[in-house]
Amino acid sequence: MSDIRNHKCPGCGSPLRFEPETQMLVCDACGSHFDTGTVSEYDDATDGIDGEDESSWESYGGTPWSDGDVRVHICPSCGAEIVTEPTTAVTKCPYCDNVTVIEGSISGALRPDCVIPFRVSAEDAKRLMSEYCRKKPLLPRRFVEELHLEETQGLYIPFWLFDCSAEGRATYLAEKVRHWSDRNYNYTETTRYRVFRRGGMAFSKIPADGSRKADDTMMESIEPFDYSDLTEFGTGYLSGFVADKYDVSADESKVRADARVKRSIDAALLATVIGYSSVIPTGSSVKIRDGKVQYAMLPVWLLHYNYRGKRYTYAINGQTGRVVGKLPVSPGRAAAWFGGIYAAAAALIAAVLFLL
Amino acid sequence: MKLKFILPFAVLLSALLMLLPTSAYDSSLPRVVDKTRTLSEYEIGVLNDMSEDFRREYSMDCVIMLISSLGGKSAMAYADDAYDEGGYGMGSDNSGILILISVGDREVYISTCGKAIEKIDDYEIELILDDMMGSLSKSEWADAFSHGIFAAGEMIERQNSGGGSVSRDDSSSTGNRLLITFLAPAVIAGISVGVMYYMMNNARGKYSAADYAVRGSFALTGALDIFLSRHVSKTPRASESSGGGGGSSHTSSGGVSHGGGGRSF
């Protein structure tokens, strides 16, 4: 007579049966045997692991601008609201290059908590952009000749910086494979394990841009910023530069931060599953706690260029100098390189095959 | 006094002679054995000269045998036994080759022994047989033998000069070589230009927040590794043939190790 218990097999998920003779839990589906303590510990550890991830962030209050702090310029073309200090004139929209910019009144915008000041000067930005173009063999020659580097604009882009701690749980199906031989046969032993890991880590200032006009992929590509330069915001940092006003709220941006935290936790837990020939993740969940948000202005040089009817945008990290953007490809140059490499490789291979 | 002086030299000379490999070469044995009596005297003379040249050049015996029938034996067994029982071979390991053509069975077989096993591998045996096939199909036996001896000499020459074995690529057809000459550069050029194209855009999103993890903050708070099952599978081992850099080998009925290969024509 055997008892039916409400435990599931860690291997296949089928119900387990308690076998009084062996005092173990038995899976009739896959034939596995487990001691009751191990199964109870596994059930406790993985309870709810296939449910929704959880994240808990404080709602961002922020500080409004004081009257007279800044001026707002609105681009009638793309809708960008550009913030400057009162003495800075805006002659062109930094996002779309529209030259008609009208003044407006500041509303609903929050004063940034912190800022990373520009370290890369306008001259440095032009030089870095030239260097970025220099080592590209497929770049059309005319593109470099006609590039108007002087139109590079320094812009403080609004970013939300997320601090949090996160705890993750994950399960895996892992295998150890061992080979050996005797006189007559080759043997392969495959041992399967159900693996569980739980761990936590803290994150500091995960950035997510708060501007719809700034391309998210491009803004992530110019990361990372060195936060040792992060300082309390003052309007003096806007002198000679312009700043964008956020139009993506912290609540909307945290979805991107959550996704990055989850991937990082998953990767960190997976790195602890060692000693196996193969490991397949089968489930995971992440709980994000103590989430705090800061509103920051981060420095970026932007350059727009229309080449053969297509618009190209380049971003340069105003602190580290990293240049990001897609360059046009010259079909003629690509064909010439293909032909040249083809001819050289064909000559070499023919020499090896037919002459040596 | 004189004997005292000579004796050490005699002992030393005897010791040196004992260290030298024992030469099993018996020059009185016929190297061209024609049991069909179809080869002309002139052909036998030429083949004998080729065999003698082969022996001098490579320090290996070279025997050719033309027979009417294998008498129910396999070509391999017939050739191996003929070599062993005929007392052929040079040096302590009876190095040499025997080329057998059975006219009635229309089979050809090359048996190698001693150093010839190392010098001529299985693939090279096939190349030698390839060289002989044109003459064999026309029943030009002497011509087939001369092609075989010459090709075997070339293989050994290549090994001795440090060129290694003939690889399959070396002898692949001109068509294959042309195909490689045209296709491989296209793949190389395609990959190279593909890398250049990839370098034209470095805007790629970040999927992880690893850059912003607080250093040293990761803590593993739970770990369970539960054994589920163990499965052992076994497959029979492929029958082994001794290789060691040369051709594969087998043991003849006389217990001597031979290499070689053959085919029908």
A–B: how many Cβ contacts below 8 A?
Answer: 211
Q: Is A187 on the interface with B (CB under 8 A)?
A: yes
Taking 70 as the threshold, does the pLDDT of residue B208 lie above it?
yes
| Greater model confidence, A186 or B246 | A186
Chain B residues with CB-CB distance to A186 below 8 A: 234-237
pLDDT-derived band at A341, boundaries 50, 70, 90: very high
A residues 266-325 closer than 8 Å to B (CB): 267-269, 272, 323-325
Task: Compute the half-sphere exposure of residue B70: CA atoms within 13 Å on the CB side of its CA.
Answer: 19
Binning pLDDT at 50, 70 and 90, where does residue A65 land? Answer: confident
A207 has pLDDT over 90? yes
Q: Does B218 touch chain A (CB under 8 A)?
A: yes
Q: What is the mean pLDDT of residues B237-247?
A: 57
* Residue A243 exposed, middle or buried by CB count within 10 Å (0-12, 13-18, 19+): buried
The answer to whether the CB atoms of B210 and A267 lie below 8 A apart is: yes
Three-state DSSP at B76 gives helix
Of chain A, the percentage scoring pLDDT greater than 90 comes to 46
User: Is A201's CB within 8 Å of B217's CB?
Assistant: yes
A71 or B166: whose pLDDT is higher?
A71
- Asked whether the beta carbons of A104 and A73 are under 8 A apart, the reply is yes
Between CA A149 and CA A141 the distance in angstroms is 15
Decide if B210 contacts A203 (C-beta within 8 A).
no
Q: Does position A194 have pLDDT exceeding 50, yes or no?
A: yes
Q: Are residues B235 and A345, on separate chains, in Cβ contact within 8 Å? A: no
Tens-digit pLDDT profile for residues A9-19? 888 888 888 88
- Evaluate whether A53 touches A262 at the Cβ level (below 8 Å): yes
Q: Which domains does chain B have, with CATH numbers?
A: 20-168+250-264 (3.10.310.50)
> What b/e sequence results for A308-322 when a residue is b if at least 16 CB atoms lie within 10 Å of its CB, and e otherwise?
eeeebbbbbbbbbbb
Which of the four pLDDT bands, split at 50, 70 and 90, describes residue A100? low
- 8 A C-beta contact, residue A152 and residue A193: no
| Percent of residues, chain A, with pLDDT higher than 70 | 92
**A59 or A37, which is more confident?**
A37
Specify the pLDDT at position A235: 81
Query: For the residues A161-170, what does the mean pLDDT come to?
Result: 95
pLDDT reading at B12 higher than 60: no
Looking at residue B165, its pLDDT comes to 60
Question: B215 at the A interface (CB within 8 A)?
Answer: no
Phi and psi, residue B117, nearest 5°: -65, -40
B158 pLDDT exceeds 90? no
pLDDT in tens, A267-319: 999 999 999 999 999 999 999 988 899 999 999 999 888 888 888 999 999 99
Return the pLDDT at A70: 72
The per-residue pLDDT of chain A, averaged, comes to 86
Least confident of A263-267, B164-168, B201-205: B164-168
Phi, psi of A226 (to 5 degrees): -95, 105
Tens-place pLDDT, residues B34-76: 999 889 999 999 999 999 999 999 999 999 999 999 988 889 9
Cβ contacts of A272 on chain B, cutoff 8 Å: 220, 223
From A150-154, B95-99, B180-184, B207-211, the region with the lowest mean pLDDT? A150-154
Predicted-assembly ipTM surpassing the 0.95 threshold: no
Whole-model pTM: value is 0.62
Give the pLDDT of residue B5.
47
- Per-residue pLDDT averaged across A35-44, rounded? 87
Q: How many CA atoms lie within 13 A of A51 on its CB side?
A: 7
